[in-house]
Amino acid sequence: MKKLALIFTLFAVALTAAAQSEFYSDQFLGLPEFSALPVRLPTEYPDTIEVQVHVRIVYDDLQFIKKNESFTAKYSLDVVLRDKDENLSGIQHLERKITADSYQQTNSRVKYDQTCVVFRMAPRTYELRIDLMDHESRQSRVIEKKLTFSEDGWASDYKLGEVLMLDSTGTPQLNSGILKGPPLRVAYKLYSEKQEGITLFFRIEDEMEQVVKHEEIPLSGSGPFFSDTITVATSDIQQGNYRFILGSRRADKTLLRGYTFTLLQRNLPSYIGNLDLAINQLKYIASDDEYKKLMDAPPYRREALFREFWERRDPTPDTGLNEKMEEYYLRISIANENFSGYNDGWQTDMGRVFVIFGNPNDIERHPFDTHTKPYEIWYYYDIDRQFVFQDKEGFGEYRLVGPIWSDY
């Protein structure tokens, strides 16, 4: 976590639905945030199951150090499983190293490191504990989850693993938001010693449990393992909350696995609540001509021009996410959370510097010096700049001392 995170509360946009097997660490100021997804899968042995634990942490939640022309962060990961009697059932330790090409990447809430550990064990009840420690800050965070297995669904020769949503690169998704347009990609794994008479199917249900899509799936593989990635079109499904249900039927026994997801439209992101305000907030990065054009546009043209502005700055135009746009308005939100006073936080001197440059590498605070008013110095080592803020009136409103704003 950046050093500044001790005073900045990170802004999070929560999706309206979460996968059944998915869980997140709750927000805790100053500690590295990460998300994790345990996935239960069958093995060839009736008394053994496989548990994959996928862990993801975004770059901004790690402390990077500059080395030569790049930036490096390291963290350790301990994943522990204990049975109901607290006996140790499995433990894995990983050391991870991440390299970022620029200081901007170290502040990214979009770029992330993702890894996976795998356990094989008997299908019982377990307590899963995941401990992640950032090496540079020495801060750690723990999240825990109970894993349960029914004998009927796991301790047999007929087992259906949990479904796993994949992105376009085949990487497991650890959130429930799916962009409408690209297809759903769902990986499955089925084990059955008897290969005759198996029917595999899926259905998608809305919040009212109405089926909006249903198909039978041809088995892929020669058995006893069957695995594949299902591709499901989303263009004919309306925006909303849904549940993907995968089922396998053999004789009179049916196994079901579910995953809740939210289908999102390609419209303005949820963090843009007020278009006029969002346009006004572009003053820090838009050229004079761009800003005037946006501000002077009639209401019916403003959204289109706003989209065009950000499309020109989209680093990954072939995806549904505009990373620069998301990070910019995330900084606006953090500034409002931490610097608001007489004005909204993003309009203050500290807020403006934060929105433009992101988290400083370091902060030097002088709140009680004898012969001077309280002041702070923010250091940005990668651009060789520092910004001095002074509380001249003594009311906690720090004003910029130093560099001319028009330089930026």
Q: Which residues pair with 401 in a beta bridge?
A: 388
Question: How many CB atoms are closer than 10 A to CB 375?
Answer: 18
Q: What is the pLDDT of residue 24?
A: 31
Residue 3 lies in a domain: yes
Give Cα 249 to chain centroid, integer Å: 35
Q: 82 and 187 in one domain? A: no
Cβ contacts of 291 within 8 Å, gap of 6 or more = 282, 283
Alpha-carbon torsion angle 104, 106, 110, 114, nearest 10: 150
Q: 7 and 146 in one domain? A: yes
Q: Which residues pair with 67 in a beta bridge?
A: 70
Q: 145 and 50 in one domain? A: yes
Q: What is the pLDDT of residue 317?
A: 78
Closest CA to 36 of 22, 26, 50: 22
Question: Residue 167 burial (CB < 10 Å; 0-12/13-18/19+)?
Answer: middle
In eight-state DSSP terms, residue 195 is -
Q: What is the pLDDT of residue 374?
A: 87
Q: 43 and 5 in one domain? A: yes
Q: 100 and 61 in one domain? A: yes
Residue 255 lies in a domain: yes
In eight-state DSSP terms, residue 11 is P
Q: What is the pLDDT of residue 306?
A: 92
Residue 84 lies in a domain: yes
Residue 388 lies in a domain: no
Residue 59 lies in a domain: yes
Q: Domain residues for 17?
A: 1-156
Residue 211 lies in a domain: yes
Out of 266, 298, 319, pick the residue that ends a domain.
Answer: 266
Q: What is the pLDDT of residue 231?
A: 93
Q: What is the pLDDT of residue 23?
A: 34
Q: What is the pLDDT of residue 189?
A: 94
Q: How far is residue 401's CA from residue 408's CA, in Å, rounded to a whole number? A: 15
Q: 124 and 244 in one domain? A: no
Q: How far is residue 341's CA from residue 336's CA, in Å, rounded to a whole number? A: 9
Q: What is the pLDDT of residue 15?
A: 26
Left if phi > 0, otherwise alpha if psi is -120 to 50, otherwise beta: which for 45?
beta
Q: 131 and 45 in one domain? A: yes
Task: Name residues of the chain where pLDDT drops below 50.
Answer: 1-30, 404-408
Q: What is the pLDDT of residue 403?
A: 61
Widest Cα–Cα separation across the chain: 87
Q: 163 and 152 in one domain? A: no
Cis amide linkage into residue 38, ω under 30° from 0:
no
Q: 């995170």: which residue's tokens?
A: 5
Closest CA to 335 of 376, 281, 285: 281
Residue 139 lies in a domain: yes
Phi/psi of residue 190, nearest 5 degrees = -125, 140
Q: How far is residue 368's CA from residue 366's CA, in Å, rounded to a whole number? A: 6
* Type of residue numbered 367: P
